[in-house]
């Protein structure tokens, strides 16, 4: 019987896993996870991501055990680890689901040339980034026409069921999950443990719960005191596929606003694939001349949730406590950093990368460049959120702010009117 290595990455699930299904159809399967943060370029997983990854891998191991299989854990370099496993198991093929981050794309391209029987599958997006293009034949830079093209391509295929797994004749050795050192030595993660349960089973339960209330999403999504989908970390780590989420909610009443968010996720990956430099450089070249300020005290106050603006500070403290922040508050907090303080958006992107359990390079890059005005479909340069007015509009009874500030308030570190005038002046000089 043919033996196939299935290399798990950001697809930590058994259902609707095209690489796993294809491998199971041809014979025995050896599930593999390789910890190789050095291969992630400038963006190895941050602390919150590592915490989630530990829980998700633990859950995947239990799921495989129920199928009389197991997860083989190794450390990088990935090529060496895969070659050794092929020798140890007699595998003649390696299957994986594609990733779209620049470093991963380059590595996978080399591995396809080096490894016999290497094959990749589409398991993380609704549509591959190269399948949608403008009428002129290039990549999209504006969401609305991208969304129309995505819709014209039709609904995604139905999700695949969990396959039956056949064990190899001999199992290779494996590291213990604890040997990867993903959990913090100083256990600051109690808040995340209360807020989340990683793993495919928990993700499926969360999706079922959200599908029952997706009709309220359009009205509730901007109210930080109310629950949104909270699907983002589960999609990032691949505990759910976007096809599973799409089909779970598409037939529900008033699901279009949420389906549009899945479209934004595909759009973010479309941009990152076609414009890989945007993780560090603005998509719009003019913004390389933006007069960003060096303000370590302001940055530290923002990170600690001590700006003196309650909605911003509540969001930053929610982030630190739970590894997550409501999307409306993310926009307000990001706007405050880039426009009130005129601190480079990359500083905020780095902080979110380390503290978010749903830290996703494509989404993080799109979001920060959008707020800063330097990216695709960017917010107008003159849109400078007033944090106080945003709180009045979206948290009118103050429930969200009180929950996360618990009466702890700071004096504003900058006056809104003065900061707005300074930002508008900087953007005006840039446009000239």
95 and 132 share a domain? no
Does 178 fall in a domain?
no
Q: Identify which of 199, 231, 192, 198 has the alpha carbon closest to the alpha carbon of residue 214.
A: 231
Q: Domain residues for 422?
A: 279-431
pLDDT of residue 379: 65
Main-chain dihedrals φ then ψ at residue 119, nearest 5 degrees: -150, 140
Which CA distances in Å does 8 have to 52, 68, 338? 15, 17, 36
pLDDT of residue 377: 78
Q: What is the pLDDT of residues 327-386, one digit of tens each?
A: 999 999 999 999 999 999 999 999 999 999 999 999 999 999 999 999 987 667 778 999
Q: Identify which of 39, 45, 43, 101 has the alpha carbon closest to the alpha carbon of residue 272.
A: 101
d(CA 102, CA 24): 29
Which CA distances in Å does 111 have to 11, 31, 88, 95, 96? 18, 18, 18, 11, 11
Query: In CATH, what number is assigned to the domain containing residue 312?
Result: 1.10.579.10
d(CA 424, CA 430): 10
Domain count, the chain: 3
20 and 113 share a domain? yes
298 and 249 share a domain? no
Query: In CATH, what number is assigned to the domain containing residue 21?
Result: 3.40.50.620
33 DSSP β-pair partners: 8, 73
8 DSSP β-pair partners: 33
Does 95 fall in a domain?
yes
d(CA 20, CA 22): 6
339 and 267 share a domain? no
Q: Are 315 and 333 in contact (CB under 8 A)?
A: yes
Does 187 fall in a domain?
no
332 and 252 share a domain? no
Instruction: Select from 123, 144, 175 the last residue of a domain.
Output: 123
Q: Strands 118-121, 72-75: parallel, antiparallel or unpaired by DSSP?
A: unpaired
pTM: 0.97
- Provide the strand spans (E) within 21-114: 27-35, 72-75, 93-97
Q: What is the DSSP string of 367-381?
A: HHHHHHT-STTPPPT
Does 366 fall in a domain?
yes
10 and 49 share a domain? yes
Q: Are 9 and 111 in contact (CB under 8 A)?
A: no
Q: Are 57 and 33 in contact (CB under 8 A)?
A: yes
Mean pLDDT split into 10-residue runs, the chain, 432 residues: 96 98 98 98 97 98 98 98 98 98 98 97 98 96 96 96 96 98 93 97 98 94 94 98 97 92 98 97 93 97 98 98 97 97 98 98 96 83 90 97 91 97 92 78
- Provide the strand spans (E) within 92-131: 93-97, 118-121
In eight-state DSSP terms, residue 37 is G
Q: What is the pLDDT of residues 72-102, one digit of tens each?
A: 999 999 999 999 999 999 999 999 999 999 9
92 and 111 share a domain? yes
Cα R_g (the chain), whole angstroms: 22
67 and 114 share a domain? yes
d(CA 130, CA 31): 28
Query: In CATH, what number is assigned to the domain containing residue 133?
Result: 1.25.40.80
322 and 244 share a domain? no
415 and 288 share a domain? yes
284 and 227 share a domain? no
d(CA 298, CA 339): 12
Instruction: Select from 274, 304, 323 the last residue of a domain.
Output: 274
Does 164 fall in a domain?
no
Instruction: Select from 246, 274, 302 the last residue of a domain.
Output: 274
């Amino acid at each position: 019987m043919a033996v196939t290595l299935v290399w798990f990455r950001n697809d930590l699930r058994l259902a609707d896993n095209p690489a796993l299904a294809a491998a199971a159809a041809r014979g025995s399967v050896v599930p593999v996870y390789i910890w190789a943060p050095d291969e992630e370029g400038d963006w190895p997983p941050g602390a919150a991501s590592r915490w989630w990854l530990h829980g998700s891998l633990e859950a995947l191991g239990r799921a495989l055990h129920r199928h009389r299989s197991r997860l083989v854990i190794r450390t990088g370099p990935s090529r060496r680890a895969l070659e050794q496993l092929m020798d140890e198991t007699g595998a003649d093929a390696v299957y994986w689901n594609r990733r779209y981050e620049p470093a991963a794309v380059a590595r996978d391209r080399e591995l396809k040339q080096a490894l016999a029987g290497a094959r990749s599958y589409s398991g993380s997006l609704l549509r591959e980034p190269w399948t949608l293009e403008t009428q002129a034949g290039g990549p999209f830079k504006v969401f609305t026409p991208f969304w129309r093209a995505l819709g014209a391509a039709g609904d995604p295929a139905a999700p695949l069921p969990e396959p039956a797994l056949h064990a190899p004749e001999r199992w290779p050795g494996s590291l213990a999950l604890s040997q990867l050192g993903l959990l913090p030595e100083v256990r600051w993660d109690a808040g995340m443990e209360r807020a989340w349960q990683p793993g495919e089973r928990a993700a499926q339960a969360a999706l079922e719960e959200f599908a029952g209330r997706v009709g309220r999403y359009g009205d509730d999504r901007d109210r930080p005191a109310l629950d949104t989908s909270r699907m983002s970390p589960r999609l990032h780590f691949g505990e759910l596929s976007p096809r599973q989420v799409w089909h779970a909610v598409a037939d529900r009443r008033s699901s279009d606003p949420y389906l549009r968010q899945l479209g934004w996720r595909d759009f973010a990956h479309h941009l990152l694939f076609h414009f890989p430099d945007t993780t560090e450089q603005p998509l719009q070249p003019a913004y390389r001349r933006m007069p960003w300020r060096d303000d370590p005290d302001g940055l530290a106050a923002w990170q600690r949730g001590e700006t003196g603006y309650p909605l911003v500070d509540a969001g930053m403290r929610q982030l630190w406590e739970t590894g997550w922040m409501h999307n409306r508050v993310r926009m307000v907090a990001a706007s405050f950093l880039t426009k009130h303080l005129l601190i480079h958006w990359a500083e905020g992107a780095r902080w979110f990368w380390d503290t978010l359990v749903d830290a996703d390079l494509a989404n993080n890059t799109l979001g920060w460049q959008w707020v800063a005005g330097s990216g695709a479909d960017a917010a107008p340069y003159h849109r400078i959120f007033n944090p106080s007015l945003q709180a009045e509009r979206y948290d009118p009874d103050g429930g969200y702010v009180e929950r996360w500030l618990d009466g702890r308030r700071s004096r504003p570190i900058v006056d809104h009117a003065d900061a707005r005038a300074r930002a508008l002046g900087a953007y005006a000089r840039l446009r000239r």
